[in-house]
Amino acid sequence: QTTLVESGGGSVQAGGSLKLSCAATGYSIRNYMAWFRQAPGKEREGVAAVWTNDGTTYYADSVKDRFTISRDFAKNTMYLQLNNLKPEDSAIYYCAAARLQPSGGWSSRYGYDWWGQGTQVTVSS
């Protein structure tokens, strides 16, 4: 059974930083993993992804150069470092994992099979 558990969310002021964690059980983080976020009244959107053993990474334009995705194989945990946070980054952040390479691309929510419960990130101005 695959489970994903996020942690690390919180409330910060604009310009601050957070580090989110996604601990996986029953799934190897060497496969296809991603972070998504969903703000109230908005669609769930892809933020970043890291795929396969070679660690190819993808980022949404809105977070490029501010967020960094990484993995710790020993802990079977994926991370998302959030720097220079902006109020528009406020959302529930979810980690996701796929059994096979998502056919719709890294940012398509429909390509992922398992989801965590989410962790809230709130950025105040």
At residue 52, the pLDDT reads: 85
Cβ contacts of 12 within 8 Å, gap of 6 or more: 18, 85, 121, 122, 123, 124
The SS3 of residue 29 is coil
The string of pLDDT tens digits covering residues 41-54 is 999 999 999 998 78
Instruction: Compute the distance between CA of residue 67 and CA of residue 78 in angstroms, rounded to an integer.
Output: 13
Give yes or no for a contact between 90 and 118, defined as CB atoms under 8 angstroms apart: no
At residue 98, the pLDDT reads: 96
Ordered per-residue pLDDT tens for the chain, 125 residues: 999 999 999 999 999 999 999 999 999 999 999 999 999 999 999 999 999 878 899 999 999 999 999 999 999 999 999 999 999 999 999 999 999 999 899 999 999 999 999 999 999 99
The CA distances from residue 77 to 31, 49, 92, 107, in Å, are 12, 13, 19, 20
The string of pLDDT tens digits covering residues 83-92 is 999 999 999 9
At residue 53, the pLDDT reads: 77
Beta bridge partners of 82: 18, 67
At residue 99, the pLDDT reads: 93
According to DSSP, residue 122 is labeled: E
Cβ contacts of 74 within 8 Å, gap of 6 or more: none
At residue 24, the pLDDT reads: 97
